[in-house]
Structure 1
Amino acid sequence: MGAIVALLADDPLGAAREDPGDTQTYDTAYERVESDPGQHLVVADRDGTVVGTLQLSIIPGMSRRGATRSVIEGVRVARDERGSGLGTELVTWAVDESRRLGATLVQLTSDATRTDARRFYERLGFVASHVGLKLALDD
């Protein structure tokens, strides 16, 4: 679990959001993800080292004629693996798995400051079609 959290924390945004020392929080989160059949936590391993991760969520819905959609989030690739094609491989897997599971739409968000990530997703066919809004529910 620690290797996944380390990847999530390995950039300025993640460093501000994640706390790799808080193992209990991440263990509890992992148990919730693992027990939900609509959640898929993917880990890329190279020679026993975690080098990439993403989470794929399958969400049944009423809109779009009862469409099932998927959400890709938490995409991270280890610094020394960036540019190797691993990110493309992970996202392509997520799109293919979404299709296999009956989703008709794949969504993702990327922080507005991550311009390289946006270009990466656009190269893979994603279109910036909506404006996303968030409301933090923290204390």
Structure 2
Amino acid sequence: MIRPARETDAEALAPLLAQLGYPFGSAELAPALAELLSDPAHHVLVAEDDGEVVGFVNANFRPQLHHLAPVGTIDELVVDEARRGRRIGERLVEAVLDEGRRRGADVVEVTTHERRERARAFYRRCGFEATSTKLVYPLR
């Protein structure tokens, strides 16, 4: 089941983020999640299996002048390692695409680290196309 995230989901999201190499505790995550949930531009969903959170996606939709419409961005998506291959990630992506259509978005974008080859293959299977290169300037 896919549902909107709640502030109380921070405890379940922490171990999922740790699987990606971001080991935050739920106490650190809770205020960040609360901030996302209070921002109407963000769309944060969780996937549940028998009442247990097994994945989540954090997307946002913001207007951009060069599109003259909102552009959706998938900022984070993770499915528990033990539950991958069951179309949970695909259902989360489909839910974001549906929300993008509802909001009149022009496109939905996603960035993956160059070392995450499986993630890029996953997004290609979902219909995403490689169209640009992202450059990053670290501030800290």
Q: Tell me which interval the TM-score lies in, with the shorter structure as reference length.
A: 0.7 to 0.9
Higher relative contact order (CA closer than 8 Å, sequence separation 6+): 2
CA-atom RMSD in angstroms: 1.3
Match of 1:128 in 2: 130
Deviations 1:83-134, CA, capped at 9 Å, x for gaps = 0011111111111111111101110001111111111111111111100111
Match of 1:49 in 2: 52
Moved runs in structure 1, 4+ residues, more than 2 A?
18-22
What displacement does 1:22 show? 6.2
TM (norm. structure 1) is 0.88
Aligned equivalents of 1:63 and 1:4: distance in 2?
Answer: 34
Aligned equivalents of 2:106 and 2:26: distance in 1?
Answer: 36
Instruction: Select which of 7, 22, 25 maps to 1:21.
Output: 25
Contact 1:59 1:70 in 2 (8 A): yes
TM (norm. structure 2) is 0.87
What displacement does 1:136 show? 2.1
Q: How many residues align?
A: 131
**Unaligned segments of structure 2, at least 5 residues:** 1-9
Match of 2:136, SS state, is coil
Aligned equivalents of 1:79 and 1:61: distance in 2?
Answer: 35
Match of 1:93 in 2: 95
**Unaligned segments of structure 1, at least 5 residues:** none
